[in-house]
Structure 1
Amino acid sequence: MTIQLIATDLDGTFLKDDKKFNQELFREVLRELKAKQIEFTIATGVHQERINILFKNFLSERLNFVTNNGARVVRSDGTVLFSNALSQSTLHQIQYFLNHYSQRPNRGLVYSTDDTAYLPSNISIESNKRYFKYFKYVKKFTEVSEIKEPIYKVTMSWTNFDEQKFYRDARQFFNDDVHITETGTGAIDIVPARVNKAAGLKMLADSYAIDLSDVVAFGDGGNDLEMLRAVGMPYKMPDASVTGCFNEALSDNNHDGVLKTIQQLINIK
């Protein structure tokens, strides 16, 4: 294969556990990728504002984005290739299901735009505080009909709860009306049906006339699985929860595993 595009997940993959990364090494890698005309893509479950905060020193670089677990795809020139929000009818279904579910998400529940966290009025603000630093705005609502902005995902998490039970119950309730996946940050996302990182990455690659067989991807969790299966050179992190016949990065997320592996792949001296 001829490497033409590299994509990486963030949490547990590119970012260290403290949500930082080796900025000097990243800048060096970006320079070499640019020289070799290889596209670099952030493919993540998180929203754009969180990326803007984490990568504030790199927003002028040539970065592509597959965000919200594939619900939004943006080229490095700012072109929005895909934007698929949850419909109002689906949001009503989600709100009804969560309001009547046996175990409320006691560690947080957020309805997300690209920069705003919408919090149900019957959910404790305290349980959501860790999300606030990654949004420009935080707003409360009682009914989803009050929300007039596009909601790309609904994120929820619990303390001491069998999340596999939630997967089973939610999939039985929604059937194929939504896609339910991990976030990569210890929570669960509900996104529009047929939305995932692989589909988003294919749209991006197609826009550059790049075949997925010439794409490298890095991931560590369940929401990376479709992407890893789709590309020509998939890499999982050494301590990844995702399983499959994938290559393994040279080291873990706390030791610049993604960047070191990219260096090896493109022969940076």
Structure 2
Amino acid sequence: MANIQLIATDLDGTFLSDDKSFDKALFRVVLDKLKNKNIQLAIATGVHQERINVLLADFLDEGMAYVTNNGARVTNADGQLIYERTMALPILLRVQQLLIDFPVKPSRGLVYSTDDTAYIPSEYAHITLQTHRRYFKKVIIFDDVSEIKAPILKVTMNWQNFDETQFYDVARQALGDSVHITETGTGAIDIVAAGVNKAIGLKMLADNLGISMANIAAFGDGENDLEMLMAVGQPFIMPDASITGPFNPVSADNNHAGVLKTILDMI
């Protein structure tokens, strides 16, 4: 195995089991081993920091780095913000209009998010409120995006029993290169600023640490992991991933601590 100095893992469908849990005892073992070998662990996810803080509440003082919101925000192990790309109001207005025009409304909600606040359009408040109270410090209802004064990192729309790739295609045509649109593989679409993805965020972190991308291992399972997996020296893919490529297999699926077991094998 090449000289791995940083390991990055996606959360949903990769590190976390389907019920959003993980083997805490095994994670503790892995963290200790990584520390002994001076290998940095990074969480590279589509979700925002506040959600990670809930999911990984027992491990927040373990010196992990975070690439969140599909690469739009990066903090190093010292908690320093080293990169952030937000979406300008003209772009948010175009996204809003696109969703107004699109015939199939996101039946599982629509959220414009900062790192700790969910901004929810009033027409979606009834379906989105409960699910987001747990994962955001604040939930703010609005009528028009022009009311939002905070820097928005990501817009997420979520459908139930609908092929979200139909929206993806329409959005790509309507918004073009002004944004980066990615499927999460869970019925949701994320829209972030142009040029933002997990590979870009991870590169910012690697540069901050003085680490080459060739000395990084990464784990993922979905469309929003593809750029990251293509960019690192040791890419690992989950057994039931929705993407394919020249990637190393993970030894077990996300419900059987595949990421943690593979890391132990690796180090």
- The interval holding the TM-score normalised by the smaller chain is over 0.9
Aligned to 1:58: 59
Aligned to 2:180: 179
Aligned to 2:82: 81
Superposition deviation, residue 127 in structure 1: 4.4
TM-score, L = length of structure 2: 0.97
**Which of the pair is proportionally richer in helix?**
2
Q: How big is each residue's C-alpha offset from its partner over 1:184-215, in whole Å with a ceiling of 9 and x where there is no partner?
A: 54311000001000000011011111111110
Q: How big is each residue's C-alpha offset from its partner over 1:124-160, in whole Å with a ceiling of 9 and x where there is no partner?
A: 4224532321111111001111111111101001123
Aligned to 1:6: 7
8 Å CA contact 1:49–1:134 kept in 2: the answer is: yes
Q: Partners of 1:2 and 1:154 in 2: how far apart?
A: 37
Q: Partners of 2:191 and 2:164 in 1: how far apart?
A: 13
Say what the alpha-carbon RMSD is for the aligned residues: 1.1
Aligned to 2:19: 18
8 Å CA contact 2:6–2:42 kept in 1: the answer is: yes
8 Å CA contact 1:46–1:183 kept in 2: the answer is: no
Aligned to 2:190: 189
Aligned to 1:225: 226
Aligned to 1:152: 153
8 Å CA contact 1:106–1:159 kept in 2: the answer is: yes
The alignment partner of 1:203 has SS state of helix
8 Å CA contact 2:120–2:128 kept in 1: the answer is: no
Q: Which runs of 5+ in 1 are unaligned?
A: none
The alignment partner of 1:12 has SS state of helix
Q: Partners of 2:128 and 2:155 in 1: how far apart?
A: 15
Aligned to 1:96: 97
Aligned to 1:142: 143
User: Between Structure 1 and Structure 2, how many residues are aligned?
Assistant: 266
Superposition deviation, residue 79 in structure 1: 1.2
Aligned to 2:162: 161
Aligned to 2:207: 206
Q: Partners of 2:18 and 2:164 in 1: how far apart?
A: 22
Q: Partners of 1:166 and 1:184 in 2: how far apart?
A: 13
Superposition deviation, residue 60 in structure 1: 0.7
Aligned to 1:255: 256
C-alpha change, 1:105 and 1:128, in structure 2 (3 Å) is farther
8 Å CA contact 2:217–2:235 kept in 1: the answer is: yes
Superposition deviation, residue 242 in structure 1: 1.2
Q: How big is each residue's C-alpha offset from its partner over 1:45-89, in whole Å with a ceiling of 9 and x where there is no partner?
A: 000000001111111111000000000000010111111111111
Q: How big is each residue's C-alpha offset from its partner over 1:158-189, in whole Å with a ceiling of 9 and x where there is no partner?
A: 12322221111101000100000023543110
The alignment partner of 2:156 has SS state of strand
Query: Where in structure 1 do 4 or more consecutive aligned residues deviate above 3 Å?
Result: none
Select between 46-55 and 122-131 the one with higher mean Cα deviation. 122-131
8 Å CA contact 1:11–1:184 kept in 2: the answer is: no
The amino acid of 2:217's aligned partner reads: V
Q: How big is each residue's C-alpha offset from its partner over 1:233-266, in whole Å with a ceiling of 9 and x where there is no partner?
A: 0000011111111111000000000000000000
8 Å CA contact 1:108–1:157 kept in 2: the answer is: yes
Aligned to 2:35: 34
Q: How big is each residue's C-alpha offset from its partner over 1:27-49, in whole Å with a ceiling of 9 and x where there is no partner?
A: 11111111111000000000000
Q: Partners of 2:56 and 2:100 in 1: how far apart?
A: 36
8 Å CA contact 1:53–1:134 kept in 2: the answer is: yes
The alignment partner of 1:188 has SS state of strand
Q: Partners of 2:63 and 2:238 in 1: how far apart?
A: 24
Q: Partners of 1:128 and 1:111 in 2: how far apart?
A: 13
